[in-house]
Structure 1
Amino acid sequence: MNDLSVGSFSVGALDIPTMDTSQLARAIGFQHVDGVLGTEIFHQCVLTLDAARGQVTLQEEDQFRPAADAIPIPFSLDENDMPVIKASVAGIAAMFQIDTGDRFSLTLFGDFWRAHRLDQQMGATIEAMTGYGGGGPIRGRVGRSAGFSIGDLAVPAPVTRLSLQKAGAFTRADRAGSIGMGILKRFTVSFDYGHRVMWLSKSAEFDAPDLYDRSGMWLGLSQPRGLRVMDVTANGPAAKAGIRVGDVIVKVGALPAEAATLFRIRAMLQQPRRLTVPILVSRTGGDQPISLVLQDLIPPWQRNP
């Protein structure tokens, strides 16, 4: 490619790999995605993510000034130029990768959580499809961490995935896990690759509850209409209501089930005060109404003491 530009910032000519993102887009629910920005940008500037404002800022290194309340977190870079930092879970210090492409809050890799028996410290957990990556569906046991800190900064009880993957990045033994956007969105985050420092400044959303699905199903895009059920949690609300993998849902509450409403529907199915949601499922012979009774599948969020 002759040039890659983000706003007025130009990276210049690059050799760029190609990949088919259609399955990923359907599973996650992206209406449109052309590609993924990589570390070439991070190496040429200081990149700041402000999820609360939906804003990315690129600055020359000598122009960057961290916020007065920002906390510096040193990092190293692995062979893929992914930042790796020291953090602690349940009082156990370990190394964690920072993955801005991961929508989940906290993922603990298999070797680490099994070695420390962290599944026994998380209360109730469920096994479910928790996302979708380049290798396909990501399965894990989901619960809520007994405690998580970056440096001296305690992060409010994050939803935590105990990886069940048998291959891929989540099986690495040289680190404990991955910190995703579910945690990073609580901050304004600046990556200074030149100085190997990540700056964290609490946003207004820092103490917002970290909610998790209460429906027991994963919805992705379907053709020609509706949302396809890609996973159903055993003994969860969807399973009890007779919803099956492969079903196509055409309406959730008052919302038509489609690409434009998928993220709003996921948020609706997380709401702690919502008891039931009417759902319309497309079945042979016509659309079938179902009343979905929501329930907490993992321990509810509680504010840090």
Structure 2
Amino acid sequence: MRRNLTLALVVATLISCSSQTENTQEPESVLFQLVDNRPYIEIEVNGVKGKFIVDTGGVHGMNTDFAEKAGVKKGRSFMIQGGGDGEQEAWYGEKAEFHIVGTSIKTLSDSPIILNLNPIRDSLSIPFADGVLGLNLFQEYDLSINYPNRQITFYEKGHHPTDGYEVVPFEFYRNQIPMIKMEIDGVEGDFTVDTGDRSMLTTFSAFYNSLDTSDKELSELRRTGYGVGGPVMAREYVLPSVKISDELQFRSVKTRVPDHSAGAWARSTHAGNLGSGILKNYEVIFDYDKQEMLLKKPPTLSIKEFTYRAANFDSTTQWYLDRLPFEVVAQTDSSLTLQYQNAQIKFIHDSSRPILSSYKSERNNKNPNGVFKFGFDVPNTQDVIEKHFPRPDDLMFGRPIVFWGRSMFLVRDPEGNVLQFFEGGSHWKNSFYAFITDNDNRYKTFTEFVKENGMVLHSDFSNDSTGVNQQNFVHGDIKVELLKLDMRAEEPYNGVGASGVQIESALKSFSKNSTSQTY
């Protein structure tokens, strides 16, 4: 009898396991846009589409403009606080269903928050701020945010991958936001993990004052963001290292100390926030049921060295040494390599290359220059301008530009090449190439490279009426731009300065980084 019962239990267990396997929901994925270090996905409410932040620090909500278009009515009002000194009026909205476009996933909120996000959008010069997907979504799914690959995956609860990930336990701050232990200068503190925070790290005043501040150089008070409560005014400094665990340590972490006498952050009792400025180097899985955050650093692209063919070799390299913080790290009779932190350029003497070499069509048997811009990520664009390009006429357009929440500026060197500087990260590094071509084979080479390396389309400014096909792709911090021109578009681009390096040669400078967890 016992034997038959045991056999029956085994059969029942197998049937149960088979049923569970068959009923497990397949994970669904969508690509996202990382704008101002925040992940945005497309959402549809009542047939109206918009771009929403996936935010561990928030709850489901929508901009007043979007709510009006989607026909979501306002209910009871209240005052809401966030980053910044102030507060603003917000409303509880009526029940709404948020459909994640490109998937079958729909997430509900009985009372989504409705508030005015336009000041944040306009202040940061970002193209959209339609709403937020927050706590409800993370409670319904185990969520993977793969920042380098710009992909969010929704796993059925308990069915996310675990192999190769570092597991970080967390508690909930105010029953909502993941909060982890981190160590700075040997001092442990509780830090919330906020995917809606654009910065690398925020330390609130009480925790900052508990550190040894003798070796920390604070910047002047400046605006470092914009929150629900208005401008986020803070002083910035760089921490040599920050530690979550022996396997998860970060070096040269750009950190801010907010200076607020009112608002949500002024009353915070925890140590600070860990933001997307660090998370963007990882795939991060949030498992709210187990209260675990899993991190894995996938291989990411890097540009070890820019190659530059200089006609006036001596004067051009001297300009880079005089105007920028580069130093000579290698030299031969015909080349010179300059480096500062992770930014590196190799100059090759090429007297045959004319200054301001023009883009010319290959249809006229003249090769166009492949690279017409290259650039760097720097910690703070304003600091670079003040130290290295203080005159208004040093900058193209006479000023920095804020594009999609990111400050940048352009300068032209003595040979007419355009350098582009992007604000981001804690140190200088090579991060950007822009190519121009009208050659189908070169265009094919580029598109194959993009596909093979998992680069994601970030923006498309193509214009069929002018014959310009302009697309921007990203992977991690690396950005590439390609202008493919047809005959109608050639003339406006004659005279474009470039580095004399063709696309296929430039692509050889890219490499995949290792998967080390240390940042």
1:36 is aligned, of 132, 146, 150, to 132
Q: How does 1:55-66 map to 2 (within 5 A)?
A: 55-66=151-162
1:112 is aligned, of 207, 211, 214, to 207
How far the C-alpha of 1:211 sits from its partner, in A, is 4.0
- Letter paired with 2:152: V
Return 84-93 or 161-170, whichever deviates more: 161-170
Corresponding residue of 1:285: none
Tell me if 1:82 matches 2:171: no
Corresponding residue of 1:265: 408
Corresponding residue of 2:49: none
Q: Which digits, 9 at most, give the CA deviation of each residue in 1:143-202, with x for residues without a partner?
A: 101320112221122111122122233334521111000111121100000110000112
Tell me if 1:137 matches 2:231: yes
Give the Cα–Cα distance (whole angstroms) in 1 for the partners of residues 229 and 207 of structure 2. 21
Q: How does 1:239-278 map to 2 (within 5 A)?
A: 241=391, 251=397, 257=401, 259=403, 263=406, 265=408, 268-270=421-423, 272=428
- Letter paired with 2:237: G
Corresponding residue of 1:18: 114
Corresponding residue of 1:47: 143
Corresponding residue of 1:214: 381
Corresponding residue of 2:220: 126
- SS at the partner of 1:265? strand
How far the C-alpha of 1:213 sits from its partner, in A, is 1.1
Q: Rg larger in 1 or in 2?
A: 2
Corresponding residue of 2:505: none
- SS at the partner of 2:188? strand
Distance 1:150 1:258, change over 3 A: closer
Give the Cα–Cα distance (whole angstroms) in 2 for the partners of residues 33 and 173 of structure 1. 25
Does structure 2 conserve the Cα–Cα contact (< 8 Å) formed by 1:187 and 1:206?
no
Q: Given the two structures, how large is their TM-score scaled by the length of structure 2?
A: 0.43
- Letter paired with 1:94: G
1:201 is aligned, of 296, 307, 311, to 296
Tell me if 1:8 matches 2:8: no
- SS at the partner of 1:63? coil
> What is the Cα-based RMSD across aligned positions, in Å?
3.4
Which structure ranks higher in relative contact order (CA pairs < 8 Å, sequence separation ≥ 6)? 1
Q: Which digits, 9 at most, give the CA deviation of each residue in 1:240-288, with x for residues without a partner?
A: 6579xxxxx99368x9x5756x6372772448489xxxxxxxxxxxxxx
Aligned length: 249
Query: Which structure's residues are more often helix, by fraction?
Result: 2
Tell me if 1:93 matches 2:188: yes
- Letter paired with 1:268: F
- Letter paired with 1:87: M
- SS at the partner of 2:113? coil
Does structure 1 conserve the Cα–Cα contact (< 8 Å) formed by 2:378 and 2:429?
no
Give the Cα–Cα distance (whole angstroms) in 2 for the partners of residues 79 and 92 of structure 1. 23
Does structure 1 conserve the Cα–Cα contact (< 8 Å) formed by 2:204 and 2:258?
yes
How far the C-alpha of 1:24 sits from its partner, in A, is 0.2
How far the C-alpha of 1:12 sits from its partner, in A, is 3.0
Give the Cα–Cα distance (whole angstroms) in 2 for the partners of residues 207 and 108 of structure 1. 29
Identity in percent: 24
- Letter paired with 2:287: D
How far the C-alpha of 1:63 sits from its partner, in A, is 2.2
Distance 1:69 1:273, change over 3 A: closer
Q: Given the two structures, how large is their TM-score scaled by the length of structure 1?
A: 0.71
How far the C-alpha of 1:87 sits from its partner, in A, is 0.7
Give the Cα–Cα distance (whole angstroms) in 1 for the partners of residues 429 and 295 of structure 2. 31
Give the Cα–Cα distance (whole angstroms) in 1 for the partners of residues 261 and 233 of structure 2. 10
Give the Cα–Cα distance (whole angstroms) in 2 for the partners of residues 174 and 207 of structure 1. 39
Does structure 1 conserve the Cα–Cα contact (< 8 Å) formed by 2:148 and 2:280?
yes
Does structure 2 conserve the Cα–Cα contact (< 8 Å) formed by 1:109 and 1:172?
no
1:103 is aligned, of 182, 188, 198, to 198
Distance 1:175 1:2, change over 3 A: closer
Give the Cα–Cα distance (whole angstroms) in 2 for the partners of residues 206 and 144 of structure 1. 24
Does structure 2 conserve the Cα–Cα contact (< 8 Å) formed by 1:89 and 1:146?
no
- SS at the partner of 1:121? coil
Structure 2 residue runs without a partner (length 5+): 1-94, 304-341, 343-376, 410-419, 431-517
- SS at the partner of 1:18? strand
Tell me if 1:146 matches 2:237: no
How far the C-alpha of 1:64 sits from its partner, in A, is 1.3
